Each structure stands twice: as C-alpha cells, then as structure tokens.
Structure 1
Amino acid sequence: MLVYIVSFPLVIWFMVYMILRKIMPKSVNTFKLVCDAGVFLWFYACAVLLETLVGDDVFWLLLAVCCAIFPANAIWQRVRHEEVLYTKMFVHGWRLLFLLLVPLHAVLFSLGVAKEMIH
C-alpha cells in the first residue's frame, strides 16, 4: 500500500474526487475539498520520497518549509497593503502547499526513478 501512496497519489486523489463528486452536489466545492485533503497525501508522499532519495529522515525539514509558507503568505498580504486575515492566510497557504507539493512530488518521483535506473 505504501508504494501505491507514494507512487500514485494522483490516482488516489482522482479516485477520491470521483467518489466525493457523486456524493456532493457542487463540483467546485468537491474540487476544493479534495485539493485540501490532497495536501496530506502529497505531503506524506514527498516526505517518503525525500527520505528514500536522501537516506536520512528529512520529515522535519519538509515540515518546516511547509510551515514557512503561512507567514510568507501573511507578509505578502501585508506588502500588498491588505488586512491580514488569518482565515484567508490559512486557506491561501494551504492551497499554495497543494500547488507546490504536486510538482515537487513529480520531480522527486522522477529523480527516484532515474536513481534506480542508474544503479
């Protein structure tokens, strides 16, 4: 099961999306909910891939980088002269995590495949 979660989070994410789409009436709300839940899936997959590639436990480093997105988002809101709303900061940061973890997973997965092909 671990191999499938790490290797194919897009497939699992899409299956959850299709199930929730049948249950929930609005597809936009379903997509947002699945993206929000997908952060956990991609975070776990990226952490396992990083540990496999590096050989050390770098979970805390990945967690620190992901947590740094929230204050950076607050600073960005302040630079844009907007009032910093913590709910808005959390939602935007959480969705930004999704947008960053998906390509990171693709890069790490490609590096892992290349590393295994070389050895």
Structure 2
Amino acid sequence: MLVYIVSFPIILWFMVYMILRKIMPKSINSFKLACDTGVLLWFYACGVLLEAIVGTEVFLLFLAICCAIFPINAIWQRIRYEEVLFTKMFVHGWRLLFLLLVPTHAILFAIGVAREMIR
C-alpha cells in the first residue's frame, strides 16, 4: 500500500473524490474537501520521494518549507487587503499547498524514475 500512496496519490485522491461526490449533494464542495484531504496524501508522498532521492532524512526541512507557506500567505493577504481573516488565510494556504505539492510530486516522481533507469 505504501508504494501506491507514494507512486499514485492521484488514484487515491480520485477515489476519495468519488466517495465524497456520492455522499455530498454539491460536487463543488466534494471537490474542495477532496483537495483538502489530498494535501495529506501528496505531502506524505512528496516527503517519501524526496527522502528516497536525496538519500538522507529531510522530512523536517520539507515540513518547514511547507509551513512557511502560511506566513507568506498571511503577508500577501495583508498586502492585498486591509483585514486578514485567519480562517480564510489558513484555507488559502492549505489549497496553495495542494497546488504546489501536485507538480512537485510529478517532478520528484520523474526524477526518481529517471534515476533508477540510469542505475
């Protein structure tokens, strides 16, 4: 199961989306909730792939980089608007993390496959 989580989080994300779509009446809400849960899938998958490529444990560094998105988003929200709503800031940061982790996973996966083919 670990190999599938690391290699194919999109399949698990799609399964979560399909389950939520059957449960929830509005498909947009199920998509948002699937994206929110998908952050956990892609965060774990990117962390494992990064450790496999680098060869050392860099999970805490990866966690720190991902956590830095939230204060950067707060500063950006403060620049754009007068008032910062922390609930909106957290949701925006969480969804921005989703948008950053999906291509990061694709890049790390391609690097890992290319590296194994070279060996």
Fold-level match, TM-score > 0.5? yes
1:103 aligns with 2:97: no
Whole-angstrom distance in 2 between the partners of 1:68 and 1:112: 25
1:19 aligns with 2:5: no
Which runs of no fewer than 5 residues in structure 2 stay unpaired? Answer: none
Q: Which 4+ runs in 1 deviate beyond 6 A? A: none
Which runs of no fewer than 5 residues in structure 1 stay unpaired? Answer: none
Calculate the aligned-residue CA RMSD, in Å: 0.7
Alignment of 1:6-85 (within 5 A): 6-85=6-85
Whole-angstrom distance in 2 between the partners of 1:46 and 1:20: 24
| Secondary structure of 1:57's aligned partner | coil
Q: CA deviation at 1:78?
A: 1.4
Q: CA deviation at 1:82?
A: 2.9
Whole-angstrom distance in 2 between the partners of 1:78 and 1:24: 34
Q: Larger deviation: 23-32 or 73-82?
A: 73-82
Which residue number in structure 1 is paired with residue 117 of structure 2? 117
Normalising by structure 2, we get a TM-score of: 0.98
| Secondary structure of 1:114's aligned partner | helix
Q: CA deviation at 1:81?
A: 3.4
